[in-house]
Amino acid sequence: MKTPNLHLLAATILPSALLLIPLALLVGCAGPTAQLTEEARVNLGTVAVQSARFTTQTEVAVPLTPGQAAASVALQLGLSLALTGDMAGVLLMPVGVVVGGVVGGVQGTPKKATEAAETALLKACAELDFQETVRRDVATAIRKNTRHPVAQAAKPGTKSLPHAHSLLEINVLTAGLSGSQFRDANLSLFLRVQARLMSMPGGAVLYEHTWLHTSGDRTFNEWAVHDARPFRGELSIASRAVAKSIIREIFLAQPPRKGDPFTRSLHSDKRWFEPGAWAGN
C-alpha cells in the first residue's frame, strides 16, 4: 500500500492564515477544459474508471502547542497594531506582543495531550488508499445510477483500454483535516477530487473538473480515538458523497441542488444541462 506524502500544516502561522491555509491549498485549480456536450454524454458507452497514478497529499491541522500559539497570537496582534499607521499603534506594539503571548499561551495545547492522537491520525493517513476508495465508489455509483457498463479497472496510467469507450480518471489531490489549530477547535475532514473524462481510444479530454467536499465536526483528539475510527469512517462517507456528485453532474447532467449536503463545486462558470433521461449505451 502506498504511503501518502504527509505534510503537517505550519504551526507558527497567524491564526487568520491558519484558517485560510486549507482553502489556499484546495482552490487554485483549473476549471473544465471543455464543456461536455449532450451528444458526447449520450455516447460515452462502456466506461472505465481509473485511479490517477499520483499519491494523495495529506494535510493534518495539528493543534498548536502553548508556545506556538503564543507566538502566533503575539505576532498577529503586534502586526495589527503596526499596520494602524499611527504613532499610538507603533508605541503599543510591545504591549500587544506581551498580551498576545499570554492569550495565545492559553489557547495552545500541550504536546503530550495530542501525541497519541497525532500518531493515530498519521497512521490512518498512511494506511488509507484515498485514490482507490474514491475510484471504487465512483464505479459503484455509475453501475447503480446509470445504464453505462463499467469496464474492469485498469492499472493507473493505462491508456490502452480495448473494452472501454470512455475513461473516467479519478485523482484525489489532497485529503485530511482542516480548521483552526487552537485548543479544542473543531476540524473537518476534506477531500479535493479531480475527475477527468476522456474518449477512448485517443484520450481526448471531454470534461475536467475538481470538487471539494468537507464533512464532520470533531476536535483533533476526537478524530483519533480507537485507532482513528471516526476519521476512517468519515472518509467512507465523504467518498460516497463525492462519487454521487460526480455521477450526477457528468452522467445525469444535473447541477448541484440548492442546499446540496454532499459537496460543493469549486467553479461557478459552467453551463448546466437540463435534467433528462439517463444516457444510454
Domain extents for the chain? Answer: 5-64+110-265, 66-108
Q: Cα–Cα distances in Å, from 229 out to 9, 20, 60, 120, 157?
A: 22, 27, 16, 9, 31
Rg (CA), the chain: 22
211 and 238 Cβ atoms separated by less than 8 Å: no
User: Per residue of the chain (281 residues), what is the pLDDT tens digit?
Assistant: 343 333 333 333 334 343 433 444 444 344 444 567 777 787 888 999 999 888 899 999 999 888 887 777 766 665 665 555 555 444 445 555 565 566 566 777 888 998 999 999 999 999 999 999 999 999 999 998 888 888 877 677 666 677 888 999 999 999 999 998 888 899 999 999 999 998 888 778 889 999 999 999 999 999 999 999 999 999 999 999 999 999 988 887 554 455 443 333 333 333 222 233 223 32
Please return the burial class of 254, using the count of CB atoms within 10 Å of its CB with bins 0-12, 13-18 and 19+: middle
Phi-psi region of 6 (alpha: psi -120 to 50; beta: other; left: phi over 0): beta
Measured in whole angstroms, the distance separating CA 220 from the mean position of its chain's CA atoms is 17
How many Cβ atoms sit within 10 Å of the Cβ of residue 83?
Answer: 9
Q: Domain 5-64+110-265 maps to which CATH number in 3.40.30, 3.30.70, 3.30.1330, 3.40.50?
A: 3.40.50
Per-residue model confidence (pLDDT) at position 246: 92
CA distance 223 to 231: 5
Instruction: Kindly state the cell numbers that stand for 259.
Output: 442546499
Q: pTM for the full model?
A: 0.71
Query: For position 71, what pLDDT does the model report?
Result: 77
Cα torsion 21, 9, 222, 57 to 10°: value is 90
CA 31 to chain centre: 16
